[in-house]
Structure 1
């Protein structure tokens, strides 16, 4: 009996709902296992297998089937091909020193023979000189492959193949629906209404005892009397497929033209009728036009039904809206009511549900949703308006502050000019006083320390009061002559 290859129906597969980190850990474990035991990690090439061939491992792990035997749809990039097994990578590993990529199992077997790169013969340490390449693995996962089960024509990306094999493929092996049976059966035949198919029965052609689940395989491959000559074309056909052959394949069987329902009266052998259809039946155009008309009619009828339903619903809502009692707004009818007011808005107070006025709870909820949408739209407009006013006010305040700052800067500059002018005048007066003392003028009498009220002042010999020490005398407008000070700077 072949080993099981899928988990039991209704039981989730291990790791099927695990996060990405768990999947990455599982891949790491498989890579380490491939390097440690390369002889068992990568199965040999095999043809397209049937569900009963036992190609799936006993651990029910979809990663353990033979990726090297998969059939790919269309050509694939040669850079994704392992240089050892000449098939697309499975668990790709790249060397750090030379950058070459191999399958984990292929590289493990090569390193067991000799710890060097199989291409350029550089020494490689299995534990430190290789790493996984996520980019290459993502490219491999996007390759489209065919399901390896015989009889299944499903095509999907390589990363989705395990899910299809374990969950969806009708030709995968699943537990027998009979709870007392420990065998496995193809999912296609695992219906509970069929019961256990692992009971033996006698072949009607060779009288061999065969289990019911294996009858089709027995008829196709093992039965000694499984073939017979077709009564129409004398071809050798498997007996249990004879009826299907006569109806769909036999060139000598009688058939009608496919356009006979539209007026064609051609009737004869399959070869003659197919030749007639290939050459072009005159009723083909009529048949296609009729089919298109029927399809258009179905679309039109569907659209008419939708329009009628929408019209009836709209009419019903309009009637409910007219019959709906209007709440009192509290405003004087002679005074215009603003469009929206947060404090006095008739939409602000939801109307109570009344089955008589509203008709149905659905109409009431729709009306409430419309009211909420209207209020939300009004709020949005108010927020936009307030935001505009705020931005304009902020702009005006900023411009006013800029003007004040410019004025202050101008005044500070004027004060600096005045200060400079005063300091220059004081320097000139001190220089003139020093020049007069050096010319031999009489020294000023000393002041007593107690005369604090007149400190810093001096009296001439004629009793005239002289200016304070260090302060130049006041110059009147009628004074002329040398030593006249400069005028202050004009602003």
Structure 2
């Protein structure tokens, strides 16, 4: 079996190691360490060979710049090598699924003999491709077709195809038992499954109701916050935009205020250097080209301080306008909520009155039914049992109940 090379500098160590075990050139743990005999500095063999100031016959140490050489092979002490071999690292095949953590001294044997995710030769003699060691019992490069969508692929790609690509591979939902594509299972559970728990659409506005998704429509019909959720969301979005604009204006105002304070702190004794006199010959010679109406609206500032003060006033007016707009939006929202609450109260009162009238009608119909089925208590018609007069054969009726609300009795 061909031994595979391992890049020890690309290993992921489980825990941090001591700085004394790292090479001063590559800044990773020593790989095949060597020692310079004259100064006892340690380096990786490859790092030292690639250094321009060093060669096998003569050279200078990359650290102390002293002349040095290697005694024999230059290998470091066995103690240092053992300490490096005891460092625990993760398998280089971790990204492919191997979760083993082994000592660095056993890493080569793990890759070449034990790791189930190392690529090995395919068991089929005519196949020249590689397979993972755990799948080496059969050739995974044989062409197969997906049972759901009939797409052609190899055996090793079938599992990932079912998980990510196949649109016809359906699985039952664990909650509602609905048949859905496998790749949409998480989306179905999060957004569409009627048997999973979901919060009220107005949860962000204060409704704590939480039930199965199939019961949310009936709750939304009774929840006043759910009815107002679209309007509240729109108002919240507008308020956020207003807040962002207000913060931007405040930042600009703060910047201008800082500049204004800076100019005010300047000593009054400092005067501007007098500017050289301007050449007015141009204006004198070209005065006919200008009209007075062109300069009526032009009012230059006497100083930078006045300019900043004017900007300060403009920003103050803008902030006031934004504050008034926010106050107006809040007032409209409060009035809308008040009107909606009054309407809901009127609907509840109307429903209560309808329910009371319905209960009175049911009571009246129940009393009428009881009176209609009341039996007439009549004596037997046998002549031998008849009394001397007809009036003794008939028992008097029970008193008739009143059908009005005043004489109605509770059942």
Q: Into which bin does the TM-score normalised by the smaller protein fall?
A: 0.3 to 0.5
**Bigger radius of gyration among the two:** 1
